[in-house]
């Protein structure tokens, strides 16, 4: 009975969403390019919010007619909406949704956006390869992703994830206490990084009393509690915060003096990471220490807008101790990083590049028509 109710509720939601999208058909204007966007998940999921829904909002504000298809919509609904909306191009955000494929919408040109190493997941590989073959262009979230994609599609653009930067003001470093944060979305799932951060904070705590370590994404599980207890056993003053709405998360980060962003295990999905939680750190005015891998060296200028450090915990501890009581220096770095965030990692920065990629796909399709 419960399963039947959930199915009925899902169908009702899909019908209601389809009806709402008919407004997009009526709102489209002559002369405006049109794009249908297929997110892989809901707006509540970070990657879809940043790379699909927010991009759609940006395009609407910059001369596009846009239709964003909710994940609940069945393929028959998507095809019906495409017939009515007549998009010039389709933007497919990841292949995690079973219907995120270009073929059902042919000959409408499509662009495939992939910002994680999902090609390492055998359950998704067939859909990813179908996108590689069937899309006019590919958007990759990092160099690593782009290098893999170029083996299967020559038209690849690297576009970093952009965030909608708050207008500010951001809490000054002078008003923050000695809190070092690790804003991992799943610290239990990154044991090597957790071990590394533990060693860093053990060294920091031994040399500076009163330093607090803040860990995020507390889900109340035994596995999470075990991680916390390891820090406490090492003599580290630790506090945790649960998962929270993004705005609340940013407000919480404004209490943090220094943010840690280690990527140690570069096998599997970690190799495809881009900036992730760095966006939140920078928006909240938190100077960061980052491992010099993935695309970090392309953005961070050591000592100016953040720090790059290898896999030596003592070096990370030294950087923290040199900064934690130097509010003016922390403020200077935070301001430089936030300015670079606006210029290079903001929604407008990403939106302009996605706009250009979509227009290129449309032009290529028309040349080949």
Give pLDDT, residue 16: 81
Residues of the chain with pLDDT under 50: none
Give pLDDT, residue 275: 84
Give pLDDT, residue 1: 64
Tell whether the torsion through CA atoms of 34, 64, 111 and 21 is positive or negative. Answer: negative
List of domains in the chain: 31-164+347-367 (3.40.50.2000), 173-344 (3.40.50.2000)
For every residue of the chain, which 3-state class applies, written as one string?
Answer: CHHHHHHHHHHHHHHHHHHHHHHHHHHCCCCCCEEEEECCCCCCCHHHHHHHHHHHHHHHHCCCEEEECCCCCCHHHHHHHHHHHCCCEEEEECCCCCCCCCHHHCCCCEEEEECCCHHHCHHHHHHHHHHHHHCCEEEECCHHHHHHHCCCCCCEEECCCCECCCCCCCCCHHHCCCEEEECCCCHHHCHHHHHHHHHHHHHHHHHCCCCEEEECCCCCCHHHHHHHHHHHHCCCEEEECCCCCHHHHHHHHCCCCEEEECCCCCCHHHHHCCCCCHHHHHHCCCCEEECCCCCHHHHCCECCCEEECCCCHHHHHHHHHHHCCCHHHHHHHHHHHHHHHHHHCEHHHHHHHHHHHHHHHHHHHHHCC
Give pLDDT, residue 5: 62
Q: Rounded to whole angstroms, how far apart are CA atoms 141 and 267?
A: 17
Give pLDDT, residue 261: 96
Q: Rounded to whole angstroms, how far apart are CA atoms 243 and 14?
A: 28
Give the model confidence (pLDDT) of 122-143 as tens digits: 999 999 999 999 999 999 999 9
Give pLDDT, residue 274: 77
Give pLDDT, residue 266: 65
Give pLDDT, residue 215: 98
Give the model confidence (pLDDT) of 199-221 as tens digits: 999 999 999 999 999 999 999 99
Give pLDDT, residue 39: 97
């Amino acid at each position: 009975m419960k399963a039947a109710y959930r199915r009925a509720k899902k169908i009702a939601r899909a019908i209601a969403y389809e009806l709402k999208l008919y407004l997009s058909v009526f709102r489209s204007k002559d002369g405006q390019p049109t794009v249908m966007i297929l997110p892989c998940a809901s707006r509540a999921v970070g990657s879809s919010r940043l790379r699909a829904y927010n991009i759609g909002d940006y395009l609407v504000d910059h001369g596009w007619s846009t239709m964003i298809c909710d994940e609940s919509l069945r393929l028959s609904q998507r095809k019906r909406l495409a017939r009515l909306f007549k998009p010039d191009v389709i933007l497919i955000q990841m292949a995690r949704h079973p219907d995120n494929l270009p073929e059902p919408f042919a000959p409408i040109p499509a662009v495939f956006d992939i910002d994680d190493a999902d090609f390492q997941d055998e359950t998704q590989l067939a859909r990813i390869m179908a996108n590689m073959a069937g899309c006019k262009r590919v958007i990759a979230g990092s160099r690593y992703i782009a290098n893999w994609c170029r083996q299967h599609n020559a038209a690849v653009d690297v576009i970093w994830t952009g965030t909608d930067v708050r207008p500010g003001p951001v809490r000054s470093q002078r008003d923050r206490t000695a809190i070092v944060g690790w804003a991992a979305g799943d610290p239990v799932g990154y044991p090597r990084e957790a071990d590394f951060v533990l060693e860093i904070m053990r060294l920091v705590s031994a040399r500076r009393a009163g330093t607090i370590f803040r860990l995020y994404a507390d889900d109340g599980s035994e596995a999470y509690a075990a991680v916390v207890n390891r820090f406490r056993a090492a003599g580290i003053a630790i506090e945790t915060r649960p998962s929270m709405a993004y705005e609340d998360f940013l407000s919480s980060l404004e209490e943090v003096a220094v943010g840690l962003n280690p990527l140690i295990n570069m096998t599997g999905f970690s190799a495809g990471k881009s900036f992730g939680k760095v966006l939140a750190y920078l928006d909240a005015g938190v100077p960061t220490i980052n491992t010099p891998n993935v695309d970090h060296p392309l953005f961070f200028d050591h000592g100016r807008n953040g720090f790059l450090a290898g896999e030596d915990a003592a070096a990370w501890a030294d950087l923290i101790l040199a900064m934690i009581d130097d509010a003016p220096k922390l403020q200077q770095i935070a301001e430089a990083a936030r300015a670079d965030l606006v210029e290079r990692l903001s929604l407008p920065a990403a939106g302009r590049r996605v706009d250009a990629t979509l227009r290129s796909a449309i032009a290529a399709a028309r040349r080949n028509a």
